[in-house]
Structure 1
Amino acid sequence: MSLETARTESLNVGDVRFAFRRLGPTAGTPLILLQHFTGTMDAWDPAVVNSLAETRPVIAFNNLGIGTSTGRTPDTVEQMASDAETFIRGLDLPKVDLLGFSLGGMLTQVLAVQHPGLIRKLIIAGAAPRGGEEHLLAVVDEAFAQSGTDVRLPLFFTPSEESQRAGRAFVARATMRKEDRDPDSGEDVSNAQAKAIIGWCARKHEGEATLRAIAQPTLIVHGSDDTMFPSINAYNMFKAMKNAQLVLYPDSGHGAMFQYPARFVAHCRTFLDE
């Protein structure tokens, strides 16, 4: 079973249906994947997800209003985190690890503080703390203005030839699944999520308090030249948290873990297995 072929399952909680896919063994602490701005399950890199699933259960899902999940996408990080907790509890999972990318990394911070008994370890990639620095809308607008190229290339990778080559390889991997793909997100998702991210980063006096309250071991991974959420965010999280370690990848942007999938998976395995 792979991300490209895994069956899409559904979980009904109240009047909401969550779409999700499970990979890997059944034994072990599940790793829950929390996705980036407008991203669906099909936006994950199979090279990352499949490799992680070789040694542990991995669960990708669409939060409310995303892809084939029902409901309305909320416009606050806190409500998105609450919805993610509803999904995790709905699967009757007693303890999980989290991998949050970008917006998903913001959700992991809330979940870690609010549900310490549920969350064992955190991996935060390409994210910002409350009150962090963000250039989301400017960078996204600039990327969409570049016609004739996949928008992920300027958003997730640096302009260097090496980084762009890695980006093209990532795009090829991420489009391998042909059957049962999630629909792309529309403005109902992007507008709500943009408001949530901007609101999160506008809270300049709350970030360190949240970070200091996170007791779980945390791996922070960031690109050296992330234009959406500059790397100072990663350093500030690392300095404020009690039990965090920081990895910066060279010549890399927002999608650093997609540029260096084997290296990223190796770092994750070492961290999660400790």
Structure 2
Amino acid sequence: MTALADKISARATPTRFVATNGRTLAYREIGSGPPLILCLRFRGVLDSWDPAFLDHPARSFRVITFDYSGLGQSGGDASYRAEAMARDVIDLADALAVDTFALAGWSIGGLAAQAATCMVPDRVSHLVLIGTTPPGPVEHPSEPIFLETALKPVNDLADETILFFEPASAASRAAAEASHQRIAARRGDRSPEIPPETYIRLLKDRAAPDTFPDPGGYRDFLARGTVPILVISGDHEIVFPAPNWFALSRAWKSLHLVVLPQMGHGPQHEVPELAAEWIASFIRHRAKPR
């Protein structure tokens, strides 16, 4: 990227398109350095990321965000199955001639990131999981308020506060409003929101007893793998409760776990600079064993 492009905020960086394996993927990138690819949440599109969170790591990394196939501005067939979303990651990296990359996933994007890591472990240098769940059965389910709120056709600021922050905390409520305003500040070149009929169909298609079905043995693979893994979670995570990771803290030999107080499902939007600093430091200082 050029020096001028390096200075563009995520609020203004243009959408680009690349054709790969029969569909077109929409993506944006900001910064330069080692690549960091980010996978989106449920109902997320390119404009669902807080630009403050993206701008900070872009000082040191080439930060790449994208719309999943068939969603936002991307073409092709949409799916919320982990393997399909993971294939988007791998195909995008191939199309951009990115061989090795750090990979991060938020919420359902964490499923994509874990699946992609298992599919191409030699290409993923680091795995960062934000507000997500490990593969296979878990002890602690989502709180009912999550789906009650997430399935509304339109989510306003009050809904976003419930979904991604901690409504009981005045500081978290203020952070929710600030993040909402930062995200809304982009003018033009926005990815369209996902219509209810689409996200409900995709949820039904991936319905299974476990939130993250594991017929391929992802859990065992990640437990014995060498890719450094950082999990960041709020202590009041209503979607994928943090305690589901506690039992894995010694079973997964490369797992690092950070739980933030009085925060919810989107800690990287509540404390964007802090979360970005942790991620950047983790990538710099926790290398794969040789």
Normalising to structure 2: TM-score of the pair?
A: 0.86
Alignment pair present for 1:158 and 2:166: yes
Q: CA deviation at 1:14?
A: 3.3
Residue aligned with 1:251, SS: coil
In 2 relative to 1, CA 214–10 (structure 1 residues): closer, same or farther, beyond 3 Å? Answer: same
Q: Specify the alignment match of 2:178 in structure 1.
A: 169
Cα distance in 1 between the residues matched to 2:204 and 2:222: 22
Residue aligned with 2:105, SS: strand
Q: CA deviation at 1:171?
A: 0.6
Cα distance in 2 between the residues matched to 1:136 and 1:263: 27
Unaligned runs of 5+ in 2: 1-7, 286-290
Q: CA deviation at 1:208?
A: 3.5
Residue aligned with 1:151, SS: helix
Cα distance in 1 between the residues matched to 2:204 and 2:225: 24
Q: For 1:34-53, what aligned pairs fall within 5 Å after superposition?
A: 34-53=39-58
In 2 relative to 1, CA 255–197 (structure 1 residues): closer, same or farther, beyond 3 Å? Answer: farther
Q: CA deviation at 1:194?
A: 2.6
Cα distance in 1 between the residues matched to 2:204 and 2:51: 29
Aligned length: 272
Q: What amino acid maps onto 1:164 in structure 2?
A: R
Q: CA deviation at 1:134?
A: 4.0
Residue aligned with 2:78, SS: coil
Q: What amino acid maps onto 2:52 in structure 1?
A: A
Q: Specify the alignment match of 1:244 in structure 2.
A: 255
Q: For 1:1-274, what aligned pairs fall within 5 Å after superposition?
A: 1-25=8-32, 28-131=33-136, 132=138, 133-135=140-142, 138-142=145-149, 144=152, 149-159=157-167, 160-195=169-204, 198-199=207-208, 200-201=210-211, 203=213, 208-274=219-285
Cα distance in 1 between the residues matched to 2:76 and 2:153: 31
Residue aligned with 1:215, SS: coil
Q: CA deviation at 1:142?
A: 3.9
Residue aligned with 1:239, SS: coil
Cα distance in 2 between the residues matched to 1:175 and 1:210: 39
- Answer yes or no: is the 8 Å Cα contact 1:109–1:214 preserved in 2: no
Deviates more, 1:140-149 or 1:130-139: 140-149
Cα distance in 1 between the residues matched to 2:273 and 2:185: 18
Q: CA deviation at 1:195?
A: 4.0
- Answer yes or no: is the 8 Å Cα contact 2:111–2:212 preserved in 1: no
In 2 relative to 1, CA 145–184 (structure 1 residues): closer, same or farther, beyond 3 Å? Answer: closer
Deviations 1:40-69 (A, max 9, x none): 110001111001101111111111011100
Residue aligned with 1:94, SS: coil
Residue aligned with 1:99, SS: strand
- Answer yes or no: is the 8 Å Cα contact 1:129–1:201 preserved in 2: no
Deviates more, 1:116-125 or 1:227-236: 227-236
Q: What amino acid maps onto 2:35 in structure 1?
A: P
Q: CA deviation at 1:193?
A: 4.2
Residue aligned with 2:42, SS: coil
Deviations 1:221-263 (A, max 9, x none): 0010011111112324433322121111110000112111121
In 2 relative to 1, CA 10–207 (structure 1 residues): closer, same or farther, beyond 3 Å? Answer: closer
Residue aligned with 2:276, SS: helix
